[in-house]
Structure 1
Amino acid sequence: MACLVIVGGFYGDEGKGKIVAYLAKKECPLIAVRGGVGPNAGHTFSYEGKTHKVRMLPSAALNPSTRLMIGAGVLIDPKILSNEISEFSASNRTLIDSQSGVIEKIHIERDIEAEHLKNNIGTTGTGTGPANSDRALRSLKIAKDVPELIPYIGDVSGAVNEAIDNGEKVLVEGTQGTFLSLYHGGYPYVTSKDVTASGICSDIGIGPKRVDDVLIVFKAYVTRVGKGPLEGEISSDDAKARGWLEYGSVTGRQRRASPFDTGLARRAIKLNGATQIAITKLDILFPETAGITDFSKLPQNAKNFVEDVERESGLKVVLLGTGTELDQIIDRRA
């Protein structure tokens, strides 16, 4: 695995949390480090019947031997972070870059009260947009300015680069999805920064030559929360009938849905320089695949779907999610 970047291929909600948690359990990386925006992104994973949600820590939190880091480009909500550190007993293995930005109460208030963000864009109301605005103006507090964060402060870029130099395994976790990128998404219905693989690496402080592989995660269908373009969008009733009706892990808002978009996937692969593909929720598209962990045992229609994705993208689908549990995955990396 060496240094692996995991990034969302559509509009977020692709199941990156499950993929990161699975790889952390399987590969035991020395470091899992989170890039992206901040607590406006929730990652979900289930293990032994218990569902976990993280908005600050990397989704590798269940692996007690993995160090959990947050890059300088990520916004910190101290209260949310503190709760997650407590939940996963992670105080001795959490490291926050000293230059991570800090969300304060005023940012959340501005986010909720701003008519443009709330009514036109559909913000999560977590304060990330206003905080990133203040960061661009060079007026935002950073982690080293906040006493309650001092025990976790360090040089994340230095630690990650040193691990790579030593040949250690490093998982780099992105948030949101490619087409929520401030630069490459459907502007203005986007998040407040770039969230492609390049942006995630910048958040953490690693150069492009440090990365061995970029694993792009797609869901077997497309969903997005909030406003903005969604090619082939189906009605809520249709989504419910297909089992595609979902709700955002942070806001609880209903996700809009559409069938898998091959053209969008190809563009995401180019934008991220992806080298591998993971597809989640195959069991929702093909219920008869639930719990299968051997590709050869998939029904032919599911195999055809995967092979079509591979043919259209030119990349191998190395991981296939067939259920909510971490071990409900077909691993084709060998």
Structure 2
Amino acid sequence: MPAIAIIGAQWGDEGKGKATDLLGGQVDYVVKFNGGNNAGHTVVIGEEKYALHLLPSGILSPEVTPVIGNGVVIDLTVLFEEIDALEARGLDTSALRISANAHVIADYNRQLDKVTERFLGSRKIGTTGRGIGPTYADKINRIGIRVQDLFDEKILREKVEGALDLKNQLLTKVYNRRGFTVDAVVEELLSYADRVAPMVCDTGLLLSQALDREETVLLEAGQATMLDIDHGTYPFVTSSSATAGGACTGSGIPPTRLTRVVAIVKAYTTRVGEGPFPTELHDESGEFLRQAGGEFGTTTGRPRRCGWYDAVIARYAARINGVTDFVLTKLDVLTGLEQIPVCVAYDVDGVRHDEMPVNQSDFHHATPILEYLPGWSEDISHCRSFDELPANAQAYVKYVESISGSRMSVIGVGPSRAATIVLHDLV
């Protein structure tokens, strides 16, 4: 049975939560394999709207075991706030499992994230200030704190002491901020140990055994391809691997067990934070997309930058991830436009680029080469089959499919779970 990776094909906010939730009834495990609470998924079920930040979207499906993998960094305060909020609404979260190897966000890393970003000034990256980057840096520098460390106070104290030897020097002498005491940090982290303990296990073994039993595992990315630490628009990226390769390293599932890669792509493009964005709109068209699409961050509330569909990025994502299926979301947002531009290539100083430019400077200076398709005015939110879509909407989908590097298997025509057209099954 398959292990399926769901990844974002743009700069995030493509609707991965909805796609994961759409498959929730057909899979047995949903795994968050990277990132932390610096990204959000919004899922609408009937009249109920859920905003998830750290928990896997599968937490909303009663028959699914939700898993937080080893590639995630966990803010324990946020974790239990989310759990408490869902349980207050009548949902059972007791099936949640957490990797013992996942790293924990300590308070000093939240503080460092905020002061470092302010210190960068005009060179800021656009971080959410939630301690994600510094925690991943600690992981790479081998001074990080893992979930399993909460169950051995001696080891935890030694690790916190080692981390604060450096962190307090930075906070007090470079950033003129108050340092942290070892006792306060250890006390806070230990306060979560008893509650988190029943959830912790070897999740790599758990998932491997599930696949051996011919159960289906869904691997859910935070952020997206263009924010991947290796393959994104560096340095304006996240601190983890958000691609299909990251699905393996962040979950403990080997590449040979990954059978399908589903990439989520919006019918237009958005990004949050700093960094180049070739199709970005600074006019009324951009504001139309922002308002019609509700393009404000689930986690931060920040208005998203908006632009037209970028087929260069879609092709890049298809190649990097080995995409087998695209899910095209928010097609309904384009309703009412007389014509809809699509970016088919870039112009960089008079040279056409059909693929991603090799270096960041060229990408920064790229301007879109656009093709124009006729729009439609009919409400498509009620459509449940491709034939029900207006002819121009059908033509738009077929055109972007032809230039994006893989087939469009699902089309989203509204925010609710039901507002979906399935062309090809994903499981």
Q: Give the superposition deviation at 1:313.
A: 2.9
1:318 aligns with one of 394, 409, 421: 409
SS of equivalent residue, structure 1 residue 270: helix
Question: C-alpha separation between the residues in 2 aligned to 1:314 and 1:239?
Answer: 26
TM-score using structure 2 length: 0.75
Q: Give the superposition deviation at 1:46.
A: 0.5
Q: How many residues align?
A: 332
2:106 aligns with one of 104, 123, 142: 104
Q: Does 1:127 align with 2:111?
A: no
Aligned residue for 1:94?
96
Q: Which moved more, 1:172-181 or 1:229-238?
A: 229-238
Aligned residue for 2:56?
58
Q: What do residues 75-117 of structure 1 show as CA deviations (whole Å, max 9, x unaligned)?
A: 0111111122231544420100000000111111111111356
- Contact (CA 8 Å) 2:314, 2:405: kept in 1 or not? no
Q: Does 1:206 align with 2:210?
A: no
Aligned residue for 1:17?
17
Aligned residue for 2:424?
333
Please tell me the residue identity of whatever aligns with 2:39. A
Aligned residue for 2:381?
290
Q: Give the superposition deviation at 1:238.
A: 2.5
- Contact (CA 8 Å) 2:318, 2:405: kept in 1 or not? no
- The unaligned stretches of length 5 or more in structure 2 are 151-192, 337-378
Question: C-alpha separation between the residues in 1 aligned to 2:288 and 2:14?
Answer: 20
1:195 aligns with one of 242, 253, 266: 242
- Contact (CA 8 Å) 2:59, 2:96: kept in 1 or not? no
Q: Give the superposition deviation at 1:315.
A: 2.1
Question: C-alpha separation between the residues in 1 aligned to 2:11 and 2:220?
Answer: 16
Question: C-alpha separation between the residues in 1 aligned to 2:78 and 2:218?
Answer: 22
Aligned residue for 2:211?
164
Question: C-alpha separation between the residues in 1 aligned to 2:34 and 2:121?
Answer: 21
Aligned residue for 2:115?
113
Question: C-alpha separation between the residues in 1 aligned to 2:401 and 2:302?
Answer: 32
SS of equivalent residue, structure 2 residue 145: coil
Question: C-alpha separation between the residues in 1 aligned to 2:203 and 2:120?
Answer: 31
Question: C-alpha separation between the residues in 2 aligned to 1:48 and 1:117?
Answer: 44
- Contact (CA 8 Å) 2:326, 2:410: kept in 1 or not? yes
Q: For the structure 1 residues 118 and 51, does the alpha-carbon distance in structure 2 shift closer, same or farther, using more than 3 Å as the test? A: farther
Q: Give the superposition deviation at 1:284.
A: 0.4
Q: CA RMSD in A?
A: 1.6
Please tell me the residue identity of whatever aligns with 1:289. I
Q: Give the superposition deviation at 1:236.
A: 5.4
SS of equivalent residue, structure 2 residue 247: helix
Q: For the structure 1 residues 135 and 235, does the alpha-carbon distance in structure 2 shift closer, same or farther, using more than 3 Å as the test? A: same
Q: For the structure 1 residues 224 and 203, does the alpha-carbon distance in structure 2 shift closer, same or farther, using more than 3 Å as the test? A: same
SS of equivalent residue, structure 1 residue 113: helix
SS of equivalent residue, structure 1 residue 60: helix
Aligned residue for 1:241?
288
- Contact (CA 8 Å) 1:236, 1:256: kept in 2 or not? no
Q: For the structure 1 residues 299 and 157, does the alpha-carbon distance in structure 2 shift closer, same or farther, using more than 3 Å as the test? A: same
Aligned residue for 1:256?
305
Please tell me the residue identity of whatever aligns with 2:318. I
Higher RCO (CA 8 Å, separation ≥ 6 residues): 1
Please tell me the residue identity of whatever aligns with 1:220. A
Give 1:131-170 correspondences, 5 Å limit.
131-146=135-150, 147=193, 148-170=195-217
Question: C-alpha separation between the residues in 2 aligned to 1:245 and 1:33?
Answer: 27
SS of equivalent residue, structure 2 residue 250: helix
Q: Does 1:77 align with 2:81?
A: no
- Contact (CA 8 Å) 2:383, 2:419: kept in 1 or not? yes
Question: C-alpha separation between the residues in 2 aligned to 1:303 and 1:218?
Answer: 16
Q: What do residues 233-255 of structure 1 show as CA deviations (whole Å, max 9, x unaligned)?
A: 10153222343461111111110
Q: Give the superposition deviation at 1:302.
A: 1.1
Aligned residue for 1:175?
222
Question: C-alpha separation between the residues in 2 aligned to 1:182 and 1:207?
Answer: 20
Please tell me the residue identity of whatever aligns with 2:24. A
TM-score using structure 1 length: 0.95
Q: For the structure 1 residues 170 and 105, does the alpha-carbon distance in structure 2 shift closer, same or farther, using more than 3 Å as the test? A: same
Please tell me the residue identity of whatever aligns with 2:413. T
Question: C-alpha separation between the residues in 1 aligned to 2:218 and 2:266?
Answer: 20
Q: What do residues 59-79 of structure 1 show as CA deviations (whole Å, max 9, x unaligned)?
A: 122111111101101001111
Q: Give the superposition deviation at 1:232.
A: 1.7
